[in-house]
Amino acid sequence: MAVDEQQPPATASVRGRTYYFCALSCKQAFLELGVGDEADAPPSQLVDSRGNPAAAPTIPTGSVTILFTDVQDSTQLIEQIGEESAQALMLTELGRQQQLVERHAGYAVKRLGDGVMAAFAEPRPALACAVDIQSYDDDDAKLPVRIGLHAGEVIVEDADYYGKTVIMAARIMGRASGGEIAISEGIRSLLDPPAGWRFGPSRKVRLKGFSGWQRISMLEQVEPVSSARNTER
């Protein structure tokens, strides 16, 4: 894929040649191919956006909040602007999402097709990250992203997550439409949202693979904190 050599997310120098990567995980995988002795950094060494050593991300364990995103109608986007342009736009969007996950102290687990999976130690920063993902600057290309969150115990293996909590988070994301943030009833009960944040009514839904009814809510309104404070006064 195309990578901006002026501002690459990661670089590596092997046998006098510089390699540019779209993500830290890609450099990590490259160095683990067996070229470690020839590279400037050992396989276990991550780098920041300038190619400097960076600490490995902390992987939340135990009870965590799982966040899934998905760009809706990606096939329609390809038909509208062409496959190459759509791919470039999608990569930019997923890169933006991963940066926001890290900014909110989350762990970007992996990319899954048209979205990302992330884990957070607490539900509030996860929801704040979801809000930021749905917020675009004026010069950004806005895409219809849907987001789902659920919290619970997880199984961690090889820096990846498994179990019912993960599956439910993905199913809840599937109940959202582009531009929406859906959360489980369990996560809502754990949250103390900032003033100005309002959830829609809880509703019962059937989720594939789970027996009985599950309750979910949509985040309906997010006001700037300053605005909310002015209202309270």
pLDDT in tens, 15-49: 667 778 777 667 666 665 544 444 444 434 444 44
Whether 2 maps to a domain, the answer reads no
List the beta strands (DSSP E) in 49-162. Answer: 53-54, 63-71, 107-112, 115-120, 145-153, 155-157, 160-162
Residue 4 domain-assigned?
A: no
For residues 90 and 171, membership in a common domain is answered with yes
Q: Are 154 and 166 in contact (CB under 8 A)?
A: yes
Tell me the CATH number at 174: 3.30.70.1230
Q: Could you tell me if 163 and 217 lie in one domain?
A: yes
Where in the sequence is the domain holding 50, given as residue range(s)? 10-54
49 and 68 within one domain: no
- CB crowding 103-126: b at 16 or more within 10 Å, else e: ebbbbbbebeebbbbbbbbbbbbb
Residue numbers in the chain where pLDDT is lower than 70: 1, 14-16, 24-25, 27-57, 138-140, 193-195, 223-233
- pTM of the complete model: 0.71
Domain count across the chain:
2
Residue 178: inside a domain, yes or no?
Answer: yes
Same structural domain, 35 and 109: no
133 and 226 within one domain: yes
Q: What is the DSSP letter of 176?
A: -
For residues 24 and 115, membership in a common domain is answered with no
My answer on whether 50 and 75 are in the same domain is no
